[in-house]
Structure 1
Amino acid sequence: MASRKEVLVRRAARVRRQVKAVANGRPRLSVHRSSKNIYAQIIDDVAGNTIVAASTLDVDLRKKLKTGADKDAAAAVGKLVAERASKAGVKDVVFDRGAFIYHGRIKALADAAREAGLNF
């Protein structure tokens, strides 16, 4: 029987493979959630570099948030990454949820990013 970590790694690889198949050159909005923080970055897989990134550890967000581990924090990170992406000239992305279910904080981040102008 596979360990939990192996299952998560396999699921993340499966999701990333599907996302890259439908990307058509669009950058990828990758999300990572830990027990205390949430991180988002927009990655250009063709060039292999990160275009923009945001997390609850950013100085400007850290002061505004009560904690980095709730839906409000995820929404703030989604809005911030979308604003930074628009400044960098990125409008269309594909969403990479990694091994996480599209629910709760992941969904809050995605909805906030959509409302702030990202298309996916």
Structure 2
Amino acid sequence: MFKKIDKEANRVKKHKSIRRKISGTAEKPRLCVYRTLNNISVQVIDDVNAVTLASASTNDKELKASVKNGGNSEAAKLVGAKIAERVKSKGIEEIVFDRAGYVYTGRIKALADAARENGLKF
């Protein structure tokens, strides 16, 4: 018998494995990515205090006006630049990148590169 491969379940399993290894603090918070077909969103999280310090998404009013399609690499670059701007305004320079089990190519890589270009270190 053939087993049906559930890609989302495999991704969640990878994410749990990654989360056991990394954690964000107030000095070096975790940048967590969530991707759908039509949008991409990121949060900067302090896991010690369980607080979201900043977030950005293609659903934000500022970005939605300039993004025609939220599910492409160009939109991911804009989200990466916006999250870097918001995090740097709070005085945070270094973060831990949590790709949430997604493969590091395409939109995830574009977002990470844009965040690095705008001054975040990870």
TM-score after normalising by structure 1: 0.91
Percentage identity across paired residues of the two chains: 43
Match of 1:66, SS state, is coil
Code of the residue aligned with 1:34 in structure 2: it is T
The corresponding residue for 1:4 is 7
The corresponding residue for 1:17 is 20
Unaligned runs of 5+ in 1: none
Alpha-carbon distance, 1:4 to partner: 3.4
Code of the residue aligned with 1:9 in structure 2: it is V
What does 1:1-120 correspond to in 2, within 5 Å? 3-20=6-23, 26-120=28-122
Alpha-carbon distance, 1:11 to partner: 0.6
Alignment partners' CA distance in 1, 2:13 and 2:37:
20
Alpha-carbon distance, 1:42 to partner: 0.3
For the aligned residue pairs, the C-alpha RMSD in angstroms reads: 1.6
Match of 2:103, SS state, is coil
Q: Deviations over 1:12-47 (max 9, x none)?
A: 111122223xx6762000001100000011000111
Match of 2:56, SS state, is strand
Q: 1:88 to 1:16 in 2, by over 3 A?
A: same
Code of the residue aligned with 2:67 in structure 1: it is L
Match of 2:114, SS state, is helix
Code of the residue aligned with 1:48 in structure 2: it is A
The list of structure 1 runs, each at least 4 consecutive aligned residues, that deviate by more than 2 angstroms after superposition, is 1-6
TM-score after normalising by structure 2: 0.90
Aligned residues: 118
Match of 1:10, SS state, is helix
Match of 2:97, SS state, is strand
Alpha-carbon distance, 1:116 to partner: 0.5
Alignment partners' CA distance in 1, 2:70 and 2:11:
22
